[in-house]
Amino acid sequence: MVQFEHSESESGAMTSKTSSVNGEAAKRKDGEKRSKKKSKKSGLHRSSKRRHSISKAARDPRDEPESPPPKKSKKEEGAVTRSPSPVIDFDGLSRPSTGTRARAEETPEQAAQRLERMRGAVRTLLECVGEDPDREGLLDTPARYAKALLFFTQGYQQNVRDIVNNAIFHEGHNEMVVIKGIEVFSMCEHHMVPFTGQMHIGYIPSHSVIGLSKLPRIADMFSRRLQIQERLTKEVANAIMEILQPQGVAVVMESSHLCMVMRGVEKSSATTITSCVLGCFERKEKTRNEFLSLVGLNRH
């Protein structure tokens, strides 16, 4: 009897173990089913979003444009077509255009024809503003204004190399050189009315100095043309940097623009200040401040 009871208890224990194992297996199966359902739902949700196509639209190959033939180079081997300098061309002209070169190279007969065309244009302007170009006070005005305009823009005919004329001297000097208060007269290219002021130029040589009179002449050459003050300031600084190859160049210009005085905002007391600093003047604040102090612009 004792043995029977013992085997009966053992079979009960085995049954309980089996049922627990079966319960765990059922739980695992339920978990797997739930995860499969979730993955299916998420896949359907992702697939419902529209994808942006990055492929090209279908197109008949015959409709594709033909590739253009390669352009032939017009440059001949060994021929000099332009200067590598953005400031001064290989023949010494600065910022040359078709009209610049034609004017600089014209014959006396061509110069006379140019003057006559300008005279006729001024006469037309007088008529358009409501004047009588044949009245006594205006009879010679078209010719006078044409000649004056050619003088105002004579910088187009000047050559940087002729202005400098090899006036560069090796003196072993490496301290700052400043010319201040250079009078500048130029023509605004937007309204063709004057703007006038002063330009201050400074540079630190690399053992070579330039004749002092050449700096105002360079400023005159660039100012005697249709300009804006910002470009005029940069062109003077870049030209000196290219010609002299110093440690640095600084140019500051103060001017009054008649296009702001006589028209537009009509502010007679307003002045415009522009600057261009290159080399050591750009890198070193102390050097830049010394120059500004010498020309009277550093008020700190």
Instruction: Grade residue 226 by pLDDT with cuts at 50, 70 and 90.
Output: very high
The fold adopted by the segment(s) 167-294 is GTP Cyclohydrolase I, domain 2 (3.30.1130)
Domain with CATH 1.10.286.10 in the chain: 98-157
Average pLDDT over residues 226-245: 94
pLDDT digits (tens, 9 = 90+) for 67-81: 666 665 544 444 443
In this structure, of 91-95, 97-101, 137-141, 271-275, the range with the lowest mean pLDDT score is 91-95
Domain with CATH 3.30.1130.10 in the chain: 167-294
**Residue 180 contacts residue 294 (beta carbons within 8 Å):** yes
**Residue 199 contacts residue 252 (beta carbons within 8 Å):** yes
3-12, 24-33, 46-55, 56-65: which is most confident? 24-33
Strand ranges in the chain using DSSP code E only, listed in sequence order: 168-173, 177-188, 194-204, 207-210, 226-227, 248-257, 272-279
pLDDT, position 220: 96
Phi first, then psi: give them for residue 198, nearest 5 degrees: -125, 150
The fold adopted by the segment(s) 98-157 is GTP Cyclohydrolase I; Chain A, domain 1 (1.10.286)
DSSP string, 112-127: HHHHHHHHHHHHHHHH
Query: Buried (b) or exposed (e) across 122-133, using 16+ Cβ within 10 A?
Result: bbeebeeeeeee
Average pLDDT over residues 4-17: 51
Question: Above pLDDT 90, what percent of the chain?
Answer: 56
pLDDT, position 31: 66
pLDDT at 298 over 90: no
pLDDT, position 40: 55
pLDDT digits (tens, 9 = 90+) for 116-144: 999 999 999 999 999 999 999 999 999 99
pLDDT, position 267: 86
Looking at the DSSP bridge assignments, the partners of residue 170 are: 208
